[in-house]
Amino acid sequence: MSDNILEIRDLTVGFRTEQGPVEILKGVSFDVKAGEIVSVVGESGSGKSMTSLAVMRLITDPNAMISGTIRYKGRNLPGLSAREMRKLRGRQIAMIFQDPMTALTPVHTIGWQIAEQMRVHLGLGAKVARKRSVELLGKMGIPDPERAYDRYPHHLSGGMRQRAMIAMAISCDPAILIADEPTTALDVTVQAQILDLLQDLRREYGSSIILITHDMGVVSTIADRVLVMYSGRIIEHGAKSDLLDKPQHPYTLGLMRSIPPMTGERPRRLPSIPGSPPLPGKRPEGCSFRPRCEFSFSKCSAVPPLYRCNEQFAACFLAEHGSHQWQRNLAEERTAK
Amino acid sequence: MRILNEVSLDVYEGETLGLVGESGSGKSTLGRTLLRLYDADSGKIEFDNLDISTKNRRELRPLRSKMQMIFQDPYSSLNPRRRIGDLIADPIRIHGHASEREIHVRLRELMDMVGLSHSFLTRYPHEFSGGQRQRIGIARAIALKPKFIVADEAVSALDVSVQAQVINLLMDLQDELGLTYLFIAHDLSVVRQISTRTAVMYLGGIVEIGMTDDVMHNPAHPYTAALISSVPSHDSIMSKSPRIKLQGDPPSPLMPPSGCRFHTRCPFATDKCAAEVPFPHDVGSGRSVACHFPIS
Ligand SMILES: Nc1ncnc2c1ncn2[C@@H]1O[C@H](COP(=O)(O)OP(=O)(O)OP(=O)(O)O)[C@@H](O)[C@H]1O
Ligand SMILES: Nc1ncnc2c1ncn2[C@@H]1O[C@H](COP(=O)(O)OP(=O)(O)OP(=O)(O)O)[C@@H](O)[C@H]1O
Ligand code: SF4
Ligand code: SF4
Ligand SMILES: [Mg+2]
Ligand SMILES: [Mg+2]
């Protein structure tokens, strides 16, 4: 009955360390619909990459403790055998890594690596695979793709390498593409091209995309829905327009206000969130945003669940009654000043 | 290999000059060359009306304290085995003639200026977050009361929520100490926030320079226009100008194109562009553009 292609419930990831166990992700739950672009934003260390590695079953650290369910088209990924998972990975669910060298090996040409992916997963013959690889490289805006096919990753600039990895990730038209900061290292002119490509992938093949980014501009350009993470939890999620226009969680609000505007008056001072995000071992009790939150009150010593406010959800006691009252008060207070 | 190609640039006292442009276009090289951390093959650099391009290391030493640099990665630029207090005091001990007593007082003054607790002075870099380390880097850079600071991607590695704090700090310190900044960054919204003027680089040259609002809202050089129009913007209320798409990749600096170096990717290029180098010329309100057919 559901059109969810991916359903994640209570995903919790921790590590045994010398200082005792450290929880990195705590009870992460979310859905991805077919053909949807979901953006994941949040501060560094909040667990964005860890979430995607868990979905790909690529957390290899023997000290890792992972629980929760990750259902892809109804099948629970953590329950699959290593062999079944290998068949899915790269074919059904593909990933673009924060660092391209995680996905590319230095010992083969980029063209060979892309072709190999298609030979293994799609059973293509060598000739066809080569032809399709060259086409893909061309589609990525790589000049002279015939020649680029025979080049090794270390011969390419960062931007080219990133595009080669994207070509590899989308070579088998995956149902889900997880893109971890795919454009962070790139110039904005190249970034714009890559964002076009991701949108083409969705349009042509109906792929779902999970896009991890710290750039709200990127979010506003291509996302349908947004998840905001803080300290290993999802603290707010909702449709892009709702979330960007009326953030319900004080962290999301602070994040939006901290971004210097590209248009209109330049503020004399940028609004900013005081302090810095806590390290995983040192997260405070209760609401983990509390030490930085200008609205914190007595209730906040407990962990806030996700409350519904209209169509979006926020893990904050201010949203308990689903109202925007506190925001309205804030707005009035600001105009009065 | 020629990385910078006959760049001419004035930085005015007390201003922040933003420097943006394609990766590899030479922004860091330009910043370092101005500080004489790199030697130029030819050309002249004046600081405070003084020709510094011909000075040797010894002659440069007294000037070094007046010109400082803040780096992108605060972690790798701080020696992990030394205490914060020593790291910040180093430049004072090397250049200044201060007594230990004076240094003690100065260190506390500096910590106040960058908004860090005095207790941090006895701790080590790894104990701090990225934003705190960047504040330490800033304290170190202003320790000798410099006049000119090159900030090379100084806030790029920080989370948005922390980035805003550091931008505010840099702007406050400028007001307080009368600093002049060359602010290199790839994030145009950050450059817009902090810069009085903005210069745009492409393949080793400055293609446009002018007041920040002019350059960002009415770009005159086609590359600037392409750059600005590619910025994904979250202030969705404003209608965005249509994106100018660039063809291909930046050419190698080893073999720069003839004529206008941008002609292989410029949507407005003509035969003239491949044949003749466009020299920077004034287009009014202190703006200078290196293009045969600037957008008006
Ligand atoms: N093997 C491990 N053992 C212990 N802690 C780990 C391990 N791997 C990662 N971590 C910690 O997990 C936390 C979450 O990391 P993650 O990479 O998911 O963050 P992120 O949200 O992707 O951040 P960024 O924006 O910097 O990429 C980090 O604090 C990291 O130090
Ligand atoms: N030590 C070096 N030896 C040779 N070439 C160098 C050296 N340092 C930089 N380059 C080259 O000089 C050019 C300009 O580099 P620079 O680091 O100044 O660019 P940038 O504009 O700061 O780029 P980014 O935005 O990526 O930091 C690049 O083509 C680079 O490969
Ligand atoms: S629960 Fe309390 S501390 Fe946490 S974000 Fe909401 S108001 Fe702030
Ligand atoms: S000189 Fe010609 S090629 Fe160069 S930027 Fe101007 S129009 Fe484009
Ligand atoms: Mg990450
Ligand atoms: Mg640089």
- Predicted confidence (pLDDT) per residue in B100-154, tens digit: 999 999 999 999 989 888 989 999 988 887 888 888 999 999 999 999 999 999 9
- In terms of CATH architecture, what is A4-223? 3-Layer(aba) Sandwich (3.40)
Mark yes or no for CB contact B192/A157 under 8 Å. Answer: no
Q: Which residue has the tokens 């790199």?
A: B38
Q: Which of B23, B161, B175 to mutate to test the interface with A (most CBs of A within 10 A)?
A: B161
- Span B164-187, mean pLDDT? 94
- What is the b/e burial string over B95-131, where b = at least 16 CB atoms within 10 angstroms of the residue's CB? ebeeeeeebeebbeebbebbbbeeebbeeebeebbbb
| C-alpha A233 to ligand 1 mean position (Å) | 13
| C-alpha B129 to ligand 1 mean position (Å) | 14
pLDDT of residue A329: 63
Which chain B residues contact residue A251 at CB under 8 A? 161
Q: What 3-state DSSP class applies to B47?
A: strand
- Span B184-190, mean pLDDT? 93
Closest Cα to atom 13, ligand 1: which residue? Answer: A45
Mark yes or no for CB contact B232/A260 under 8 Å. Answer: no
d(CA A256, CA A219): 12
Output phi, psi for B282, to 5 deg: -70, 130
Instruction: Enumerate chain B positions whose Cβ falls within 8 A of a Cβ in A.
Output: 22-24, 129-132, 159-165, 167-168, 171, 186, 188-190, 192-193, 216, 226-227, 230-236, 238, 243, 245-246, 248-249
pLDDT band with cut points at 50, 70 and 90 for residue A1:
very low
The pLDDT tens digits of the residues spanning A60-84 come to: 899 999 999 999 999 999 999 999 9
- pLDDT of B189 strictly over 90: yes
Predicted TM-score of the model (pTM):
0.90
Domain residue extents for chain B: 16-209
ipTM > 0.90 for the complex: no
Token pair in block for residue A90: 């790269």
Cβ atoms A97, A86 nearer than 8 A: no
Domain residue extents for chain A: 4-223, 229-259+270-336
Cβ atoms A156, A110 nearer than 8 A: yes
- In terms of CATH architecture, what is B16-209? 3-Layer(aba) Sandwich (3.40)
- pLDDT of B161 strictly over 90: no
Mark yes or no for CB contact A256/B186 under 8 Å. Answer: no
